[in-house]
Amino acid sequence: MPDALLVHQRLLDFYGIPQWRLTPSPLDELLLTVLSQNTNDKNRDRAFTALKDRFPSWELVRVAAPEMVIDAIRPAGLANQKGPRIQAILQEIYHQHNQGKNEQEPLDLCFLAKYSAEDARRWLMQFKGVGPKTAAIVMLFSLNMPAFPVDTHVYRVTGRLGLRPNEMSVEQAHPHLEAQFPPETYAAAHLNLIRLGREICQARRPNCPACPLKDICVYVKVRL
């Protein structure tokens, strides 16, 4: 099995330090990630912008007619599923943290910054449609908490490299990879593994000769 820190350093040398998109709040990040499920970044961003343009606050999204929310997020696909999920998340945040407070106080997730990482993960995953990947993205990029998100690209690439057992599930891969990589590398390693999966280590036709990790990759050794 290759050393995870070596994998991280090789990808830094190859791609450089990756940049994450800017998001103004943990709640924005959570809802962006819900919208991103089963679609691409462009359509996710179109849907998020349309939702924010139509509703100036998340409170207005919470109390809106469901069909208006669904219509706004159609560019992201699966709008009939994602719209109710977004409103359910906002309703639960309101009931748990805003009910009885000043009605002008915005909905947010800033209170999670006071939680432990495990408590924050558990709290985020109470919602339908929010799994370990979505929770980890919010934790890592918006709450500055240690978490290693595993999407389809990260799962595929780490399996081929031998950084995780082939029979390991996506859910099991989250804590496993968190243990393999040092916490300070989580963000860059996550993003560079995604880039490698999109550009070189693709699902059907991986371009192994172009890969900066080919000499330490289990998949290449077996394939050759």
pLDDT tens, position by position, 32-88: 999 998 999 999 999 999 999 999 999 999 999 999 999 999 999 999 999 999 999
- What share of the chain in percent tops pLDDT 90? 85
Out of 42, 114, 133, 214, the active site residue is 133
Q: Are 94 and 62 in contact (CB under 8 A)?
A: yes
DSSP 161-188: HTSS-TT--HHHHHHHHHHHS-GGGHHH
> How many CB atoms sit inside 10 A of residue 184's CB?
10
How much is the pLDDT for 98?
Answer: 72
Token pair for residue 138?
């919010």
Instruction: Look at residue 20 in the predicted model and tell me its pLDDT.
Output: 82
pLDDT for the residue 105: 72
Q: pTM to 2 decimals?
A: 0.91
pLDDT below 70 — which residues of the chain? 99-104, 224
pLDDT at residue 14, as a whole number: 98
Residue ranges and CATH numbers for the domains of the chain are 4-19+147-223 (1.10.1670.10), 26-108 (1.10.340.30)
Please confirm, yes or no, whether 133 is among the known catalytic residues.
yes
Task: Check residue 205 and give left, alpha or beta (phi > 0: left; psi -120 to 50: alpha).
Answer: beta
- Output the pLDDT for position 101: 62
